[in-house]
Amino acid sequence: MKKIVLLTIALFSVSITFACTSFIISGKATPSGKPMMFKHRDTDELNNRIAHFQGKKYAFMGLVNAPSLDGEVWAGMNEAGLCIMNTASYNLREDMLECQMDREGEFMYHVLGQCATLQEFEAWIDTYPQPWGVEANFGIIDAQGGAAYYEINNHRWIKYDVNEEANGYRVVTNFSFAGRHEDYEGWERYQTASAIMKEAFSREREFSAIDAINLFSRKYRHEVLGVNYHRENAPQYIVDQDYIPRRITSAVICFQGVTEGNDPKYSIMWSALGYPACAVAIPLLMNSSSLPAYMTARNPKAKKGEALHSEMCDASLQIKDQWAFPMHISNGKRYVALQTILVGNENKPALMTSTNNVETKIQSDFLPLYQQWVEGNLDDKTFYKWYQQSSKNWMKYYYSAFAPYIK
C-alpha cells in the first residue's frame, strides 16, 4: 500500500510540476512585421522575478526563480534582440545516461549571453559540451527576422522554422513532435491553445501582447471538455485540471520583437509575475536602469529569503492564495473560485476587471510615448527618463485597483 501511495504522489507531482503553454507568431504574418513569442509558465517555484545580467558578449534580462542568484533564466531577452524561452518535453529523451538533467535554465542563460541570431545559436549549440542535460522545446526570435522552435535533448536538435508555417504561427506545450507519441504531455492544453489561436489570429489585425495574455492566460476554456467559461456562465468553483491558467502558473512572458533589421532596443518583454487573473503585464525594455524595482528583487544584494522576492509577484500571489484558491483544507487547492475571478463577490469587483483596468492605464501611459520613440520623435534619454518616472505609477495603479482584495 505504501508503494502505491508513493507512486501515486510521484505521478501526480510529475503531471503538475513542469508544464508550460507557448506560441510564436512569425513577423511575416503580422501587419507590423514584428514577431511575437509567448510563454505561459507553470512550475513548482511560484515566486518569480526579473533580473539583469551581463553575459560574455551581451547584456540580458530574464525571468528567474526568486531564490536563484545567478546562472539560469526561464525566458529572456538580450541587447542584440534575441529572445528565448522553453517548455518542458517528456517524450524526446533517447538515452538513460546518468547525467544532470533539467539544465534548461542554465542553457538559456548561456544562449542569451553569447548569441544574437538563430544562426549564431545553431553554431553555438554544436560546440556546447554534451550531454546537454535538457529535454525541451526552445522558442527563439531575433532582430533579423528569425523565428523558430528547437526540439532538443541530450545529443541532438530539430528545428521548426515558424516563418515557413502556412498559418504564420506555431503552438507548443509539453510534447515534442519528433518524440514518442505515447508520451505526449500537455495535449489537452495544446488542443485549447490551438483552437484559441485558430479563432483569434488574423494576418490583417495586429495581435497585441495584452490580447495574447487575455486570450490564453486568462481564458478558462477546456477544449476537450467543451467548456468556455465567462462572466455569464461562471460556476462558483471549477476543478483546476488542464486549463491553461493553473494553480502552478508563476508568470506570463510575451516578447514583442522588432521588424527585420530594426534596432533591437525597441523590443519589449511584457511580463506578468504571479497568477494571471490578478497579475498585470508590465512592458520591460532592455535597459538595466529602466527595470522597475517592483519587478526585481526587493534587495538586490540579498542572498536568500523574501528579500529576493519581487513586490509585484508577492502581491499577486497573496491575492491568488486568499481569493482565487481560498480553500486551504483537504483537496481545496485543486478548486478555482471562478466567480471571484470573472464576476466578483462580497461587493468586490471581479479580479479580472481589476487586472484589465490596470493594464488599460499602463497601455495608455506607455504605448503613445513608445510609438513616438520608435518613430524618432523622442530621443533615448528623454524616453528612458519618462519611462522610469511613469513605470513607478504602475504599481500604484495595481494597489489602487486591488485595494478591496489586499489586507
pLDDT tens for 34-75 read 999 999 999 999 999 999 999 999 999 999 999 998 899 999
Rg (CA), the chain: 20
| 187-215 tens-digit pLDDT | 999 999 999 999 999 999 999 999 999 99
Residue written as grid cell 544562426: 119
**Confidence (pTM):** 0.94
Q: Which residues pair with 24 in a beta bridge?
A: 37, 170
Q: What value does the mean pLDDT take over residues 112-123?
A: 98
Residue 381: give its domain's CATH number: 3.60.60.10
What is the secondary structure of 61-111 as a DSSP string? EEEEETT--SS--SEEEETTS-EEEEEE-SS------------HHHHHHHH
Q: What is the pLDDT of residue 30?
A: 97
Query: Does the pLDDT of residue 84 top 90, yes or no?
Result: yes
The three-class DSSP label of residue 367 is helix
Distance CA 406, CA 244 (A): 25
| 237-256 tens-digit pLDDT | 999 999 999 999 999 999 99
Tally of structural domains, the chain: 1
- Residue 59 makes CB contacts below 8 A (sequence gap 6+) with 52, 53, 78, 79, 286, 288
If one counts every other C-beta atom within 10 angstroms of the C-beta of residue 251, the result is: 30
Q: What is the pLDDT of residue 288?
A: 78
Q: What is the pLDDT of residue 18?
A: 62
Query: Does the pLDDT of residue 4 top 50, yes or no?
Result: no
Q: Which domain holds residue 55?
A: 2-405
**What phi, psi does 157 have (nearest 5°)?**
-135, 150
User: Predicted confidence band at 290 (pLDDT cuts at 50, 70, 90)?
Assistant: confident
- Angle between the N-to-C axes of helices 118-125 and 104-114, in degrees from 0 to 180, rounded to the nearest 10: 120
Q: What is the pLDDT of residue 301?
A: 86
Query: Does the pLDDT of residue 326 top 60, yes or no?
Result: yes
Residue written as grid cell 529576493: 308
59-65, strands of its sheet edge to edge: 48-54, 59-65, 75-78, 83-88, 136-141, 147-152, 157-161
Q: What percent of the chain has pLDDT over 70?
A: 96
Residue 398 C-alpha cell reads as: 495595481
Q: What value does the mean pLDDT take over residues 127-153?
A: 97
Task: Give the mean pLDDT of the chain.
Answer: 94
Q: What is the pLDDT of residue 268?
A: 98
Pairing of strands 238-239, 249-256: unpaired
